[in-house]
Amino acid sequence: MSDLTLGQTVRRLTAEELEVGFAATANEGKAASAPDTPEVDLADPDALEVIDLLKDYSGVLLTGAPGTSKTYLAHTVAMILSEGNSARRAFAQFHPSYQYEDFMEGYRPKEGGGFERCPGVFLQLCAAAARDLDHSYVMVIDELSRGDAARVFGEALTYVERSKRGMSFLLPSGTIATVPPNVAIVATMNPLDRGVDEVDAAFERRFAKRLMLPNAELLEARLIENDVPDALRKALLGWFRDINGQKTPAAQIGHAYFWNITDEASLKAAWEYQVQYHVDRAFRYEEQTRDRLRDKWAAIFVGDTQAESK
């Protein structure tokens, strides 16, 4: 039996059927982390590609600009491998304050005084997987590059390697631990985060990287599905291709920012509350390009033919 198993039956399941909901794992008000669709497609070719990579690598890093469906794809992979069983998957979001004690083990005060050892989220998942080697377990790590990933993993970073799976190692508490072969690790990261260089150095030999790009074709299909008027759709897609064609690395903006656009009002809201800040930040040293993109956006709503895709 392979280390990572996949059920033979393929069908579309709703997030509700799979106990997902995403309420606890993504901020639905933030385009970068919002799920792209209420359904999980068990035949999703991107998810199946990641699952294939997991058979050969210690884990997979989904890297790309905000809003490129990284978190959604990570959760889709987790749903498929765990077969909808929430007990067989775990989620962590790294940030500057996230520690080894949260992920592996630490000591916390207990009632009546003193301290007790508490296993972290990854150690708990590994322990459960070790008791159930016939099934796959999945650790999803969102925004890996925002934390000190090597320090958070600690000694476990060595033992996530495929060649060292199942080997015992000693934790600072004296506890013996293992990373079983049936544990998959899928992480997301923004390639422009400050901690990327450190992540690259620690993980590049162990993890496969899968680049996630802004997808104009996927966005167009979604806008058609949302019954967005033709002129508005074409103008938005023209602007989307324009900004993502800029040489500035920080310029890229994902399709998920516009996933729920249905009309002019919702598109204006997307600009007011999210998109304009992305443009200003990405082009703060390129005023001419920034102003041109702002003008082209404004032209979307006055029918300027320059805003339409060529």
pLDDT in tens, 181-219: 999 999 999 888 776 677 767 787 899 999 999 999 999
Same domain, 53 and 96: yes
**Structural domains counted in the chain:** 2
Q: What percent of the chain has pLDDT over 90?
A: 71
pLDDT at 5: 57
Same domain, 224 and 192: no
Host domain of residue 244: 216-307
Vertex 69 angle, CA 6 and 245, to 5°:
135
Q: Which helix (H) or strand (E) holds 60?
A: strand 59-64
Same domain, 182 and 295: no
pTM for the predicted model, two decimal places: 0.82
Does residue 302 form part of some domain? yes
CA-nearest of 152, 38, 159, 45 to 94 is 152
Give me the CATH number covering residue 36. 3.40.50.300
Residues contacting 38, CB < 8 A, separation 6+ = 14, 15, 16
Same domain, 86 and 145: yes
Same domain, 82 and 206: yes
Last residue of a domain, one of 157, 178, 212: 212
pLDDT in tens, 266-306: 999 999 999 999 999 999 999 999 999 999 999 999 764 44
pLDDT at 305: 44
Most distant CA atoms of the chain, gap in Å: 72
Does residue 1 form part of some domain? no
Does the structure show a pLDDT above 70 at 35? Answer: no
**Dihedral angle over CA of 222, 93, 213, 251, nearest 10:** 100
Last residue of a domain, one of 212, 245, 270: 212
Same domain, 248 and 194: no
Cβ burial 228-266 (10 Å sphere, 16+ → b, else e): beeebbbbbbbbbebbbeeeeeebbbbbbbbbebeeeee
pLDDT in tens, 73-125: 999 999 999 999 999 999 999 999 999 999 999 988 888 788 889 999 999 99
Neighbouring C-beta atoms of residue 72, cutoff 10 Å: 25
Does residue 5 form part of some domain? no
26 vs 172 pLDDT, higher one: 172
pLDDT at 14: 44
Does the structure show a pLDDT above 50 at 134? Answer: yes
Same domain, 179 and 259: no
Does residue 155 form part of some domain? yes
Strands 137-142 and 183-189: parallel
Same domain, 194 and 104: yes
Neighbouring C-beta atoms of residue 161, cutoff 10 Å: 16
Same domain, 230 and 202: no
Residues contacting 273, CB < 8 A, separation 6+ = none
3-state DSSP call for residue 181? coil
Distances (CA, A) of 95 to 138, 147, 240: 20, 5, 29
Does residue 75 form part of some domain? yes
Residue pair 68/254 in contact (Cβ under 8 Å)? The answer is: yes
Same domain, 250 and 150: no
End-to-end CA distance of the chain: 52
pLDDT at 193: 76
